[in-house]
Amino acid sequence: MAKIERKYMAHYIDAALPAALEEGEPNYVRIGKDLEEYSPEMSADVQKTKNILGETSVLLASYEKSGSVEPYYAEKGDPLFARLQAIVDGGLVLDDCNTTVIEVHMWEEKQTNGFPAVKDDAVIEVSSYGGDATGYQIPFTLHYKGAPVAGFFDPSTNTFSTEAGT
């Protein structure tokens, strides 16, 4: 079996401005430029108990998935930059930080409506802004809400669908 190159696991984030600022369709942007690594952490809630017989039972109760995007260099005209700057400038909280993320399995066979993908709701947490002499940076963390939906994503149209294609 051949190893899968990292570039085939694609991560998209909806960069559309929150409803309080703009009404509209999702605007999916692929993250990865300037990133050497993006690895969402699963943070499992594992509960171990030992009974009186000395046996251990293990229960994996849930995951709290999150991923850090650092560095993120701001670029004029990038919709994700506009979204992050709106959070910084407005001190946005609550629903104004909600978004969706899509993980696309581009190593799998493409269907008529795109590649197999998983979409999840998430919250954007801007951790800082500014940076050094290399450029204006706005690192952030995506906190997944844990309600994944399987479907298909077409990178040529930036659309997600739950309907199977052939």
Q: Measuring CA to CA, which residue among 122, 8, 12, 125 is closest to residue 70?
A: 125
Quick one: fold of 9-42+65-161? Pnp Oxidase; Chain A (2.30.110)
pLDDT for position 113:
93
pLDDT for position 79:
95
Give the dihedral sign, CA 109/115/43/6.
positive
CB atoms closer than 10 angstroms to residue 58: 8
User: For 89-95, which contacts have Cβ atoms below 8 Å and span 24 or more sequence positions?
Assistant: 90/21, 92/18, 92/20, 95/18, 95/19, 95/20
Full 3-state SS string of 79-140: HHHHHHHHHHHHCCCHHHHEEEEEEEECCCCCECCEEEEEEEEEEEEECCCECCCCCCECCE
CB atoms closer than 10 angstroms to residue 120: 18
Map out the domains of the chain as residue ranges. Answer: 9-42+65-161
pTM score, two decimals? Answer: 0.90
Please give the Cα distance from 63 to 77 (Å, whole number). Answer: 35
Per residue of the chain (166 residues), what is the pLDDT tens digit?
A: 799 999 999 999 999 987 655 667 899 999 999 999 999 999 999 999 999 999 999 999 999 999 999 999 999 999 999 999 999 999 999 999 999 999 999 999 999 999 999 999 999 999 999 999 999 999 999 999 999 999 999 999 999 999 876 5
